[in-house]
Chain A
């Protein structure tokens, strides 16, 4: 593991405040860090893993899919886009208490501008689906399409056609229409066009057709599709000092929101690294030498998305084959053998310069839903460009800062971009024509009414504090005592000889801030060791015994130390540990705030409770679930589960498991929940009356699996818990990546919607019990609301109460004295899985389960 990655694991180096070590948060969702809202704008394009292999083209892609039921023809089943699959999952119908209304009423109404646009259709608009057959049958899809498109009978119809299924917005006179045409060679071809379905505008199929229409339109505006978004490489933002180009673009989607068809657009950037994979490999080799080159190279490259020089496709690097060289041959489609060198020369007039490079291996998943084996593609590193910011680069603070500077958009800037897009669409003749022939009318930007829920009071030991700003209450509670924490009497500091001089100053500072917050810090045993990982580990092994409450390590650098120490102390010998970089302790003038942060973290690790909010429900357990892919073995998924242990929601039970799987669906939830219930019983001598589980990390298209596979696990452990009255369960899917944005308009400018803004109408979905909540502050960028989808709900809380409770839970993340974008249990689960996936790679010791040892 590289130093940079490790730095990232601890989330240092991100904060503009430049705190280091464990005193700042790792989470991208914590405000004021560099990552939040602004950077996450482009999350979809950043995270390499997201997009798999996808085709970029400016072709008019006429492929359409049939997801509806009951077609009389055996049709080619084309994959329905994953996010449309989720829209077909109607959970609200089963929830009686929200069937009529899922909107709350508390709070102060606020008028919000959005990035949603009305798409108007005539009242009786329908889409007509036809099936087309050819006599004689034609194998070439292109020929089929060309013949149909060129037929005069259909020339003035708006149409989408994939070679078999034809969509028209106007009905043909006959149910079955026979058309005759001639090929260029003069053969007569008979085309039979048969009506198979009439689809209302709300049908999923229509939605897909609408999205195809917009895809065409954006391509008319010289945009390229990469993954799901559209970019304009001709207007790049360039950061030469980091070898990066940023292509501006949009994530767009058309779908049915609560009441009508809407077009959503959000600004997105595609990051291009001006570097071929071969250059990357060469540089890496320069950097680390040959000894562990192959291993490191694979670690850093596998999973990244590359763009090839000679076509518009992107590929995911699934493997590197070091035994294949450009001089090897492969079999062409016509059966002949050709070397890669000759192939690229012949096909693309490209001369490969390095004949010793290995080949990148990419698995092409079939676009159709036939279970064919994935096709293997070999790519030349020399001809592939790296895209996205994934892996090691993300821990380059300077680089990430430069990127953030460029792509951070204020709410006003964002709205202006959208206005320009809409303007471009409406000015472009072809685009306008496309919309008009389909009968679509691009309407105004939508505004809606949200509500700002009341702010929360922060309960300290002997003080109730109403923060000035919920985004950060560190100043408000500086003089207050934390709720509870045991004294720290027996603890160790392991440091290198060189770090000795900073320790005294730091310790006295730590003791001082500790005592003002009610945390007694005794004198530690200080162990000085040589400056290498083995010496640190040996010292820890020698000196840690059963009585040691906590081990603090002052690390000379970030190489290796963190992973090894965390691995040993979280799993082999379970003792809470605190790692701090010696560099951090050298920062003059910041010692007090650094010491405060460290003291808070240490008290959490000892089982301390920092603060609370008022929880009106008397016997409520909340839990958070998140998943994270293991850093080394991509088939391993780390599933984290964190549940509250007391009605005040200040103590937590954390479990984590490594699961071998290809999906992100958890199958250990029963064990986790049963364990949490037992632990709850131990503390409270009863079972919780209500359980609310927040599930984060659900990908597109997985909603159904969560409902069918995860909810039953939770239900059965609740049912088998042995309580007389079974606890009532609710499950909420949390999503940080959602397209809608909400702004307030003030004095002719737009601003982020205030903290605590809830939107539960218009921008929500009719088939779900869902709402948006803004619980994070963005000082410079645009805030992204978090979407909550209640997929299971026995509790029957009023929507108002569900929303308020969710907001309260966003106050309880002890690593940040302020609101965060998701409920605290989710953030804890995230932090835990991240530590395991990045550093530990095995299940942490159960003895630590009731401490927040991973903060």
Chain B
């Protein structure tokens, strides 16, 4: 079965002596937490600090709301070798996104200020702070909360109260500088939130096993919101451009916001719809010829395949638009009619724009209000042929 997209082992979880197994694995639960958050709040600009092997960014790039996705890490080698995972899927060149997306990876430290990270809607620091030494940890709030000051910040870190459930009692990772209990984390978080005018909610992922509920989640998470009343940090425009990070990788996705892409998509959709209407019209004609009594039904469709599922609103919109018509051997579909179909309706074009985009690839009626095609073409299948 097709379910192998996320098979990446996270080192923490592959450890053979591990006794407590989370399902799904803990790192996936953390990522899922962020994904749910993105799904609910639809941020446009998202940055992941300490993005490591870019795993989280890979999961986030599929969200249509995100238009700028940034990863920052101090391990340049890791960014180098993982950048290409963030390039568009081939399918995204075929059916492009609605909105632009740029993904950039920066090499740099989270305690350095870079103005390119200003004005974000969401900044995530997943299992990051425990890797900071005390000096960096002290500077961290000032940079992320004070300077970058995004609308939302997510910080996750191990909950040391959970550690006794593991056979190894030491820190969970050799590079961890500390692991906090819930009280320590929440005290720090509340302090920071107060200072920079954020509010914070605490939660976590990785439920403790039955009987040990008192230890709390394995990973504790703080979700910070910038308070709307307070001063939203220094204004972006007043900032001098401060580029201290090194851009290691950057990629732009094709999207319908790009004229070339939009045109291609529009022409394809128009031709597809016109062809369907033409075939439907031909069928109607045939039915009429066969027996005047039988009124053609909606194309009764192959077993199990439903065609054009329209909502009532969509149906009404289509019904109310000008109908396709025939003049001699030509078949015309008004542009307004085409725009009523959901697949064209979703495109960011009006009739005027549509006309100009179609102009050099599709044949239009003399007044430019409809697409014109031959009613019959030589390859049409005539079921009564045989």
Question: Which chain B residues border A279 with CB–CB below 8 Å?
Answer: 272
Residue B330 lies at the interface, judged by CB distance under 8 Å to chain A: no
Residue of B nearest to A13 (CB): B378
A139–B260 Cα distance when bound, in Å, is 47
A354 to B: closest C-beta gap in Å: 6
- Contacts A2-B381, A291-B383; is A356 near B91 (CB within 8 Å)? no
A379–B1 Cα distance when bound, in Å, is 9
For chain B, residues 1 to 53, give those with C-beta under 8 angstroms from any C-beta of chain A.
1-9, 11-12, 14-16, 23-24, 35, 39
Question: Which chain A residues border B175 with CB–CB below 8 Å?
Answer: 184
- Contact yes or no, A311 B89, CB < 8 A: yes
Question: Which chain A residues border B2 with CB–CB below 8 Å?
Answer: 343, 377-379
Q: Which applies to chain B's interface (DSSP): helix, strand, loop or mixed?
A: loop
A376–B362 Cα distance when bound, in Å, is 42
Interface size class of B (residues with CB under 8 A): 35 or more
* Residue from the list A4, A241, A349 in contact with B62, Cβ < 8 A: A349
Question: Which chain A residues border B6 with CB–CB below 8 Å?
Answer: 347
Residue A333 lies at the interface, judged by CB distance under 8 Å to chain B: yes
- Contact yes or no, B12 A185, CB < 8 A: yes
Question: Which chain A residues border B35 with CB–CB below 8 Å?
Answer: 349
* Residue from the list A224, A376, A533 in contact with B386, Cβ < 8 A: A533
- Contact yes or no, A185 B11, CB < 8 A: yes
Residue of B nearest to A350 (CB): B62
- Contacts A143-B14, A286-B276, A533-B386; is A356 near B304 (CB within 8 Å)? yes
- Contact yes or no, B8 A142, CB < 8 A: yes
Residue B172 lies at the interface, judged by CB distance under 8 Å to chain A: yes
- Contact yes or no, A293 B173, CB < 8 A: no
Contact with A along B237-280 (1 / 0, CB 8 A): 00000000000000000100000100111011001100110011
A45 to B: closest C-beta gap in Å: 13
Residue B336 lies at the interface, judged by CB distance under 8 Å to chain A: no
- Contact yes or no, B1 A532, CB < 8 A: no
* Residue from the list B254, B265, B304 in contact with A234, Cβ < 8 A: B254
Residue B87 lies at the interface, judged by CB distance under 8 Å to chain A: yes
- Contact yes or no, B173 A557, CB < 8 A: no
Binds B, one of A324-332, A787-795, A838-846: A324-332
Residue of B nearest to A430 (CB): B80
Question: Which chain B residues border A11 with CB–CB below 8 Å?
Answer: none
Residue B325 lies at the interface, judged by CB distance under 8 Å to chain A: no
Residue A837 lies at the interface, judged by CB distance under 8 Å to chain B: no
- Contact yes or no, B300 A290, CB < 8 A: yes
Question: Which chain B residues border A241 with CB–CB below 8 Å?
Answer: 267, 271, 361-362
- Contact yes or no, B386 A186, CB < 8 A: no
* Residue from the list B63, B275, B300 in contact with A349, Cβ < 8 A: B63
- Contact yes or no, A285 B91, CB < 8 A: no
A281–B272 Cα distance when bound, in Å, is 12
- Contact yes or no, A240 B303, CB < 8 A: no
* Residue from the list A240, A312, A354, A357 in contact with B267, Cβ < 8 A: A240
Residue A289 lies at the interface, judged by CB distance under 8 Å to chain B: yes
* Residue from the list A3, A139, A184, A222 in contact with B379, Cβ < 8 A: A3
* Residue from the list A185, A322, A385 in contact with B15, Cβ < 8 A: A185
A332–B305 Cα distance when bound, in Å, is 26
- Contact yes or no, B302 A293, CB < 8 A: yes
Question: Which chain A residues border B177 with CB–CB below 8 Å?
Answer: none
For chain A, residues 296 to 355, give those with C-beta under 8 angstroms from any C-beta of chain B.
297, 307-312, 322, 325, 330-334, 343, 347-350, 353-355
B57 to A: closest C-beta gap in Å: 14
Residue B191 lies at the interface, judged by CB distance under 8 Å to chain A: no
- Contact yes or no, B304 A274, CB < 8 A: no
- Contact yes or no, A285 B174, CB < 8 A: no
Question: Which chain A residues border B188 with CB–CB below 8 Å?
Answer: none
- Contact yes or no, B173 A245, CB < 8 A: no
- Contact yes or no, A309 B91, CB < 8 A: yes
Residue of B nearest to A324 (CB): B304
A111–B158 Cα distance when bound, in Å, is 71
Residue of A nearest to B38 (CB): A349
Residue A56 lies at the interface, judged by CB distance under 8 Å to chain B: yes
Question: Which chain B residues border A138 with CB–CB below 8 Å?
Answer: 14
Residue A163 lies at the interface, judged by CB distance under 8 Å to chain B: no
Residue B92 lies at the interface, judged by CB distance under 8 Å to chain A: yes
Residue B84 lies at the interface, judged by CB distance under 8 Å to chain A: yes
Residue B90 lies at the interface, judged by CB distance under 8 Å to chain A: yes
Contact with A along B167-185 (1 / 0, CB 8 A): 0101011110000000000
B5 to A: closest C-beta gap in Å: 6
- Contact yes or no, B90 A285, CB < 8 A: no
Interface size class of A (residues with CB under 8 A): 35 or more
Question: Which chain B residues border A224 with CB–CB below 8 Å?
Answer: 90
Question: Which chain A residues border B62 with CB–CB below 8 Å?
Answer: 310, 348-350
B321 to A: closest C-beta gap in Å: 20
Residue A60 lies at the interface, judged by CB distance under 8 Å to chain B: yes
Contact with B along A372-413 (1 / 0, CB 8 A): 000011110001010000000000100000000000000000
Question: Which chain A residues border B265 with CB–CB below 8 Å?
Answer: 274
Question: Which chain A residues border B323 with CB–CB below 8 Å?
Answer: none
- Contact yes or no, A243 B268, CB < 8 A: yes
Residue B94 lies at the interface, judged by CB distance under 8 Å to chain A: yes
Contact with B along A213-233 (1 / 0, CB 8 A): 000000100101010000001
- Contact yes or no, B306 A356, CB < 8 A: yes
Question: Which chain A residues border B302 with CB–CB below 8 Å?
Answer: 281, 285, 290, 293-294, 297
- Contact yes or no, A353 B309, CB < 8 A: yes
Residue B288 lies at the interface, judged by CB distance under 8 Å to chain A: no
- Contact yes or no, A377 B264, CB < 8 A: no
Residue B307 lies at the interface, judged by CB distance under 8 Å to chain A: yes
A56–B267 Cα distance when bound, in Å, is 28
Residue B382 lies at the interface, judged by CB distance under 8 Å to chain A: yes
Residue of A nearest to B300 (CB): A290
- Contact yes or no, A222 B87, CB < 8 A: yes
- Contacts A140-B14, A379-B2; is A185 near B383 (CB within 8 Å)? no
Most buried by A among B85, B87, B92, B302: B302
- Contact yes or no, B379 A4, CB < 8 A: yes
- Contact yes or no, B383 A288, CB < 8 A: yes
Residue A120 lies at the interface, judged by CB distance under 8 Å to chain B: no
Residue A745 lies at the interface, judged by CB distance under 8 Å to chain B: no
A537 to B: closest C-beta gap in Å: 11
For chain A, residues 229 to 272, give those with C-beta under 8 angstroms from any C-beta of chain B.
233-234, 236, 238, 240-241, 243, 245, 247, 272
- Contacts A286-B276, A385-B94; is A238 near B264 (CB within 8 Å)? yes
Question: Which chain A residues border B272 with CB–CB below 8 Å?
Answer: 243, 275, 279, 283
For chain A, residues 33 to 60, give those with C-beta under 8 angstroms from any C-beta of chain B.
56, 58-60
- Contact yes or no, B381 A3, CB < 8 A: yes
- Contacts A274-B264, A378-B2; is A282 near B307 (CB within 8 Å)? yes
Question: Which chain A residues border B90 with CB–CB below 8 Å?
Answer: 56, 224, 226, 233, 307, 312
- Contact yes or no, A332 B271, CB < 8 A: no
Contact with B along A667-701 (1 / 0, CB 8 A): 00000000000000000000000000000000000
* Residue from the list B92, B254, B268, B303 in contact with A294, Cβ < 8 A: B303
Residue A607 lies at the interface, judged by CB distance under 8 Å to chain B: no
Question: Which chain A residues border B379 with CB–CB below 8 Å?
Answer: 3-4, 396
Known contacts A288-B383, A310-B62, A559-B386; 7 further A-B pairs (Cβ under 8 A): A282-B276, A286-B275, A287-B279, A297-B302, A309-B95, A353-B309, A383-B91
Q: 8 pairs across A/B with beta carbons < 8 Å?
A: A245-B264, A247-B93, A274-B94, A290-B303, A291-B383, A310-B91, A356-B306, A357-B304
Interface residues of A (CB under 8 A from B): 2-4, 56, 58-60, 136, 138-140, 142-143, 182-187, 219, 222, 224, 226, 233-234, 236, 238, 240-241, 243, 245, 247, 272, 274-276, 279, 281-283, 285-291, 293-294, 297, 307-312, 322, 325, 330-334, 343, 347-350, 353-358, 376-379, 383, 385, 396, 532-534, 557, 559-560
Interface residues of B (CB under 8 A from A): 1-9, 11-12, 14-16, 23-24, 35, 39, 62-63, 81, 84-85, 87-95, 168, 170, 172-175, 254, 260, 263-265, 267-268, 271-272, 275-276, 279-280, 283, 299-309, 361-362, 379-383, 385-386
Q: Which 7 A-B pairs have the closest CB atoms?
A: A240-B267, A309-B91, A186-B174, A293-B302, A233-B93, A58-B84, A330-B1
